[in-house]
Structure 1
């Protein structure tokens, strides 16, 4: 009897352990499925509109636009850092895709590899130092001159991305932008302090629009006066 009772207790304990292990396995399976669903949902959010592709074009603007688009999407959906490289490399094509296939293992093995290091490596490959230097010089020498103020602003934004170390703050961007305006606009802004790029651009755009309207009005007045003079000459000639 005693032996039978012991055997029964051992069997009950074993069944209990088996049930616990089964419950743990089921929970792990549910967690894995849930994680997969979350990953899938996140991927759908990132790809909810047509994903930009990059083919390794030798134009740093194209590369920076491609990286910027993914930065915006990652920020919008709260993408975890460990998913970012995979999502971005999914959109590599042509030469860029071949480069990644050949170098992925080596690059991923780098200490502290992450999305930031991936950007550094892709820039090293497709945005070499001589191009970086060229873009920095272009930004450094940028002047409004005969451009519209809107064209100057657009060009400034485009080139400033390649010289972030020189205009690291909004105040530095504002100063650089103001120094490239026409002398006439700089004189009109004299004494004003701007904290952001958009502040100085907004003020300059307003002054520029006023000046253009003034020129247009003067041109219309001159045109009317010329037409009046021509009319008077014509009348005099007919009278003679």
Structure 2
């Protein structure tokens, strides 16, 4: 009788283990489905915004704009950190897509791989130092000349990203912008001290608009 009791207990314990394993398996299956649904919904949200593609153009401005668009998009859709790279790489095309296919496994295996490291690797490949230097020089030599004040401002903002060291202080940024305006506008601004870029831009745009009315 004692032996039969032990056998029954053993059988009961085994049944309980099997039951618990079945519960865990069901939970894992539901979790997998839910995660898949969440990923699918996230990808759909991103796709609905029709984000731009990146072809691997050797132009740091194009690359920076592409990455910035995804930064804004991820904030808007609430994209989780571990989903950003997967969403972004779908929009790599041409040479950029080929590069990712060939190097994805190696890059993903890097310690602490995340969205930031992905951006660093893309820049390392398609953001060569000689182009960065060219853009910095283009900013240094930027003048308004025949452009409107608004177009000059847009170009200034676009190129200023490649020369952050020279305009780290807002006042220096304002002086640099003012020095690139036409001589006529500089004379009209003479004597005024601007603390920010937006201040000098606003004043120059106003004077430019008045000039056009004449």
TM-score normalised by L of structure 2: 0.84
Q: Deviations over 1:14-71 (max 9, x none)?
A: 3333322222222222222111111111111111132322222233332222222212
Q: Does 52-61 or 149-158 show the bigger shift? A: 52-61
Q: Does 1:194 align with 2:207?
A: no
Query: Which residue number in structure 2 is paired with residue 221 of structure 1?
Result: none
Query: Which residue number in structure 2 is paired with residue 148 of structure 1?
Result: 148
Query: Which residue number in structure 2 is paired with residue 38 of structure 1?
Result: 38
Map 1:23-34; keep pairs closer than 5 Å. Answer: 23-34=23-34
Deviation at 1:129, TM superposition (A): 1.4
**SS of structure 1 residue aligned to 2:166:** coil
Map 1:92-103; keep pairs closer than 5 Å. Answer: 92-103=92-103
**Bigger Cα Rg:** 1
Alpha-carbon distance between aligned partners in 1 of 2:169 and 2:37, rounded to the nearest angstrom: 40
Alpha-carbon distance between aligned partners in 2 of 1:193 and 1:157, rounded to the nearest angstrom: 17
Q: Does 1:176 align with 2:176?
A: yes
Query: Which residue number in structure 2 is paired with residue 67 of structure 1?
Result: 67
Change over 3 Å in CA distance of 1:38–1:167 after alignment to 2? farther
What is the number of residues matched between the two proteins?
213
Alignment gaps of 5+ in structure 2: none
Alpha-carbon distance between aligned partners in 1 of 2:82 and 2:167, rounded to the nearest angstrom: 30
Q: Deviations over 1:183-213 (max 9, x none)?
A: 4434444333333x33332222112212332
Q: Structure 1: which 4+ aligned runs deviate by more than 6 Å?
A: none
Q: Per chain length, whose mean CA-contact separation is higher, i.e. which structure has more relative contact order (CA < 8 Å, sep 6+)?
A: 2
Query: Which residue number in structure 2 is paired with residue 211 of structure 1?
Result: 211
Alignment gaps of 5+ in structure 1: 217-240
**SS of structure 1 residue aligned to 2:164:** coil
Map 1:124-163; keep pairs closer than 5 Å. Answer: 124-163=124-163
Alpha-carbon distance between aligned partners in 2 of 1:94 and 1:6, rounded to the nearest angstrom: 68
